[in-house]
Structure 1
Amino acid sequence: MKKTFRLEGLDCANCAAKIEAAVGKIEGVKEATVNFMTTKMIIEAEDEKMPEIIAEAEKIVKKIEPDTVMKKA
């Protein structure tokens, strides 16, 4: 399953890369991509783990970029 999110307030390309790397390491994630230009993050992961993965991804985004809000696209 793929889910797309908008990272509102993302203003750092380096932070986008850090978020992408950290989210990609979450257990159950097959692939995570963050496009800094469109401020979109796509997470491809196992269906049954998606709620936990989304919660973990939100924590990662807040830790790396505190002013960024993760919203469903």
Structure 2
Amino acid sequence: MRKSFKLDEIDCANCALKLEDAIKKVDGVDDAKVNFMTQKLTLTAPDDRFDDVLDRVVALAAKIEPDCEIVR
């Protein structure tokens, strides 16, 4: 399953790349793209695990970029 989410308060392209690289390493993530210009995260993960993977991605994003919020 692939879904897109709005990102609030991603401050720079460097931060977006750092976040994207970290999200790609989360167990269950098939692919992730963070677009600084559109302030969007596109996440691809297995259908049956998507919600669990998304929860882990949200927690990781909060650690890496505390000001950034993934809007569900």
Normalising by structure 1, what TM-score? 0.90
Normalising by structure 2, what TM-score? 0.91
Moved more, 63-72 or 36-45: 63-72
Runs of 4+ in 1 over 3 A off after TM superposition: none
Deviations 1:8-33 (A, max 9, x none): 11112111111111111111211100
Q: Matches of 1:2 and 1:45 in 2, distance apart?
A: 7
What is the correspondence of 1:1-73 to structure 2 with a 5 Å cutoff?
Answer: 1-72=1-72
Percent identity reads: 42
Deviations 1:31-62 (A, max 9, x none): 10000100100001101111111111111211
Q: Matches of 1:6 and 1:31 in 2, distance apart?
A: 17
Letter in 1 for 2:29: V
Task: Kindly indicate which of the two structures has a greater share of residues assigned to strand.
Answer: 1
Superposed displacement of residue 69, structure 1? 1.3
Segments of structure 1 that go 5 or more residues without pairing to the other structure are none
Segments of structure 2 that go 5 or more residues without pairing to the other structure are none
